[in-house]
Every structure is written in structure tokens, then in C-alpha cells.
Structure 1
Amino acid sequence: MTDYDVLAEVYEWLISDAKLPPADFAASFDDVLSLLPPNAHVLDCSCGTGQLAVGLAGRGMQVVATDASEAMVRRTAELSEEFGASVRAVRANWEELPDHFVDDTFDMVFCVGNSLHHAAGTTGRSAALESMSRLLRPGGRLVLTSRTWELVRSRGSRLDISNQLVRRNGRDAVVIYRWDIAPHWEDEHHIEIAIAQVDATGSVQVRSELLSCWPYQYEQLNADLHRVGLRTEASTFNLEAENYMLVASKE
């Protein structure tokens, strides 16, 4: 797993303006949230800095947020306190989830923010999905967002530099992605993400982190879900789109 401990401190520069307010992030999932019962129990695994978890708690849901990064869990707890939201934040990677929670606990599990590709290969991805499936109640749903890796790999190794400054907390930054695309799907790939912050004097401070990832094809993801007892219910997958959302229900 990748820790994101460096990027955790500047992660808000990677979140779009539309999803930075917790209520707005939660609202982007209105269609699936409408399927939940009142006072639903929800798990946000790979919670990042907690925008979604806090937004869900603001709707009266019983929310647990987990992440493999201690720094991300800390920032989620801080955001929860800032908004007066009741969120239980726990440091745990996917494989450790069954050690913290009883099977069949949650009505919905979120795994969003393009996080699943950090699971190490087919074995790691299957283990992650198995853990999430175990924690869902029968009929519960997994909500997953993913990069369209078919599109990412077609572009090859490259450097992507944002064409405009991003402003957060009164500071501007340029976001840079360096993609190291391996020859084969099953090989370890790398993404280096750099956030170059510019202060009022023109000085630049750069924070970067090299992240490992193991891409997967959409058909492979569906097969992995089926193996762990999840059935794809809805999907926005499009080979020409950068990202997609998939909703799978527990059989």
C-alpha cells in the first residue's frame, strides 16, 4: 500500500473545487445515497482528508472513515472536529478492515478517489475487495470510483503539468503528475505527484510523493467483484472518459 503521508499535508490541492466542501462532495453521490435507509451505517475506506466522510455524517449517517495513512486519518479527525461531525476515524488498510469491524456491518461502503489501484496486483486487489464485501450487509452496496486505466495506459509515460494555478487557504500551487507506465498491465506502475506552492514573494515550495499502482481493466474489475460476491448494478464506464463510478451490490 501507498501511505500518502507527504501529500496528506497538501492534499486539498488535489481535490476539485466542486468537492472540497464536505456537503458538496456528499451531494455528488446523491443518486446512490437515496438508496440508503435512515440512519444508515456507512464506511468510507481510503477516506483521504475526510471531505466525503464529514459530508455523509452531516446528513445524519453513522460514518466510519479508514485510511492506510496515519496522516490522512489525523486530517479526517481534524476536519470532523471543525465541522462538528460525528465520524469515527481509524487507521487501517483494506486487508485489516475485518480486524476492526464485524462482518455485515455497513449498508454502504465507499472506495473513491481512485484508490483501488494502490492494492498490489491481482492478489492485493482481490483481498481488498473481499474485505469490503465482508463488511457489507446482504443487499448493501459498494460505491467505487476509478481512473479509466485503458485510457491512461494508451497515453504512455508522460509529464502532466496543470495549466492553471489552484488556490487553497490563500496560497497558489501548480499540480504536476509524472506517469511511469510499465510495459504490461500486471507490472507495478508509478505516479509521482508534486504540488509546487507559490507564496506572495514568488518563492516555491515543492512537496512530492512517488506512488506505486497496479492498474486493471474494467472487465477484470467486474470479474474481481463477482468473485467476492458483488454484482455490478450500475456503472458510468466509458473508454473515452477519465474516470468512472461503479456501484456493486452484495448478493
Structure 2
Amino acid sequence: MPEASGVARFYDRLAADYHRIYADWDAGMARQGRALDAMIRAGLGLDSARVLDCSCGIGTQAIGLGLRGHRVTGTDISAGAVTRAVDEAALRGVALPAATADMRQLPFADGQFDVVVSADNSVPHLLTEQDVRAALTEMRRALRTDGLLILSIRPYDEILKARPSSTPPQVAAPPHGGSITFQLWDWHEDGERYDLEHFQLVPDGAGEWEVRVRRTTYWALTQGRLSSYVIESGFVEPRWRTPESTGFFQPVLTARAAT
């Protein structure tokens, strides 16, 4: 799967610097963990759920949930990100069993988890209907009956109206990052997929800036389209929630594993 190796390479290269995206990464972990925990408690009534974060990255959501008492397992297509997630979790007293895995082929038994999470625009790395359905079907398989699916993506319904060519710069001051991050977007002819160049300007310690660039591709999935794929993959009751209602920084889709 050539596209999988490209995504893995993108996050392998980003893993050491991912925290620089945040003004304060630990505060971001706490904020996102609190928002996701509230969804789990409201959806399942559990204060210690078995959670699979199947796109855990360096651990932002997984550690946040672990700090709130959930039993989290992490997987990610990037071995570098998984290694850092485990190390960062240990530094904060969180046990995070984790493995390198493609979300289209999860290495778990059927019905092993109460909750499956894939946050921070991970699913849109999958560029075809077949691949999105494959990932969602695997998430459903890993969930127990009536288990909870939690996905978050960019607000693509709004983004597609303008198809921007860049994002505003994000500045993270020391000690939390000391960098400037922005993105350039090059839209494909289909008007839905786009190539992304992720730029970080990082002080080199000698009064100069080092420029680090990583590249990947996304599919701007609308909420209606993703909801339909979720239903086709064995889920019911899909519901979109806004950042204003959840406290999470992206729109969130929740659904239940059908019986």
C-alpha cells in the first residue's frame, strides 16, 4: 500500500516535533482528554472504559484519556509516533500498550474494546471509499456490541466552500514549543483531495531558524459522506457534535456498534 508508507513517513518525520503544534501540549492533552471522557461517560456510563485509539500519534488523546482513568491501547501507522507515545505516557505515569498498525488491519480480537477513537483528522488520510469503509469495518469489528465510535475531522463542509490554499501560522513560544507552524494546501482537480505541505520554523539555538517540511495528502470528507460510510460499516445512531458543544477542537462524530 504505497499511500500507507507515505503517511507513515510523514508522521515518522513529524513525531519529534508534533508537540510544537500546541502552545502547551500538556494543557492540550488535558483539554482533549476531558472532552473525550465526557463523551464516553455520557455515551456508555463508564468511568474506566477499554479504549482503542487507532490513530494515536504521539499520544495526545490516548494519554489524555489515560490520565482520566481509562484503559487505553494505542495503534498508529507511524512506528516513530508510537514509540514516542509510549515514552510520553510513561513520563506521565500512564500505562499505554501500543503497536504499529494500519487502521484497515487492526491486530485485535473481535469485540475487545468499549470505545474506538480516531481523532485529529486521521481518517481523511484514506483517499478512497474502499479504504475508508475498510477502516470503519475494522473499528466496528474491534468494538463490542453497542460500543462507542468517536471520530474527529476538520470542518470540511465549510472548508470546501472556500478551498483555502494555506492555514494561519501557529506560534508556540518556549518552553512549550518555540516554533511557528503553518500549512500550504494544493487542491487536486477533483476538488476534494489536497496535497499538504506542513512547515515548521524551529529556532536552531544560534539565532537562526531551521525550516522543516513534511508532505502528505488528505481527502476532504463531508459530514454527510462520512456518516453514510459509518452506517454502511455496521454502526447506528451517527451524530455530529460541534466544538462549542463538546469542548473538543474539531467536529466529532459519534456512533454505536450495531447488534
TM value normalised by structure 1: 0.88
Relative to structure 2, which stretch is displaced further, 197-206 or 3-12? 197-206
Supply the AA of the counterpart residue of 1:92.
A
Question: Is 2:37 the counterpart of 1:33?
Answer: no
- Please give the per-residue CA displacement for 1:176-229, whole angstroms capped at 9, x wherever unaligned: 10011123256x421111111124543111222111112222111111011011
Residues 50, 113 of structure 2: 8 Å contact kept = yes
Return the alpha-carbon distance in structure 1 between the equivalents of residues 176 and 206 of structure 2. 13
Pick closer, same or farther for the CA change 1:109–1:56 going to 2, 3 Å.
same
Pick closer, same or farther for the CA change 1:82–1:18 going to 2, 3 Å.
closer
Return the alpha-carbon distance in structure 2 between the equivalents of residues 18 and 90 of structure 1. 22
Question: Is 2:125 the counterpart of 1:118?
Answer: yes
**Greater share of strand residues, 1 or 2?**
1
Return the alpha-carbon distance in structure 2 between the equivalents of residues 117 and 218 of structure 1. 12
**Greater share of helix residues, 1 or 2?**
2
The structural deviation recorded for 1:89 is 1.0
The structural deviation recorded for 1:158 is 1.4
Structure 1 SS opposite 2:104: helix
Percent of aligned pairs with the same residue?
27
Residues 48, 76 of structure 1: 8 Å contact kept = yes
- Please give the per-residue CA displacement for 1:36-89, whole angstroms capped at 9, x wherever unaligned: 434321101111111221222223322100100011101101111101211101
Return the alpha-carbon distance in structure 2 between the equivalents of residues 171 and 12 of structure 1. 7
Question: Is 2:85 the counterpart of 1:76?
Answer: yes
Residues 56, 75 of structure 2: 8 Å contact kept = yes
Question: Is 2:112 the counterpart of 1:129?
Answer: no
Identify the residue that residue 214 of structure 2 maps to in structure 1: 209
- Please give the per-residue CA displacement for 1:94-128, whole angstroms capped at 9, x wherever unaligned: 1120xx10011110011101111001211111111
Q: Flag structure 1 segments of 5+ consecutive residues without an equivalent.
A: none
Identify the residue that residue 201 of structure 2 maps to in structure 1: 196
Supply the AA of the counterpart residue of 1:58.
L
Correspondences of 1:9-158 after superposition (within 5 Å): 9-15=16-22, 17=24, 20=27, 22-34=29-41, 35-97=44-106, 100-158=107-165
How many pairs does the alignment contain?
A: 244
Return the alpha-carbon distance in structure 2 between the equivalents of residues 131 and 216 of structure 1. 19
Identify the residue that residue 246 of structure 2 maps to in structure 1: none
Pick closer, same or farther for the CA change 1:136–1:76 going to 2, 3 Å.
same
What is the Cα-based RMSD across aligned positions, in Å?
Answer: 2.2
Residues 22, 177 of structure 2: 8 Å contact kept = no
Identify the residue that residue 223 of structure 2 maps to in structure 1: 218
Pick closer, same or farther for the CA change 1:169–1:69 going to 2, 3 Å.
farther
Residues 54, 116 of structure 2: 8 Å contact kept = yes
Pick closer, same or farther for the CA change 1:18–1:223 going to 2, 3 Å.
same
Return the alpha-carbon distance in structure 1 between the equivalents of residues 159 and 28 of structure 2. 28
Return the alpha-carbon distance in structure 2 between the equivalents of residues 125 and 217 of structure 1. 13
Structure 2 SS opposite 1:248: strand
Structure 2 SS opposite 1:184: coil
Relative to structure 2, which stretch is displaced further, 131-140 or 150-159? 150-159
Aligned mate of 2:189, from 183, 188, 210: 183
Identify the residue that residue 235 of structure 1 maps to in structure 2: 240
The structural deviation recorded for 1:248 is 0.7
Residues 36, 107 of structure 1: 8 Å contact kept = no
Pick closer, same or farther for the CA change 1:141–1:245 going to 2, 3 Å.
same
Return the alpha-carbon distance in structure 2 between the equivalents of residues 18 and 206 of structure 1. 21
Supply the AA of the counterpart residue of 1:226.
I
The structural deviation recorded for 1:13 is 1.8
Supply the AA of the counterpart residue of 2:140.
S
Structure 2 SS opposite 1:213: strand
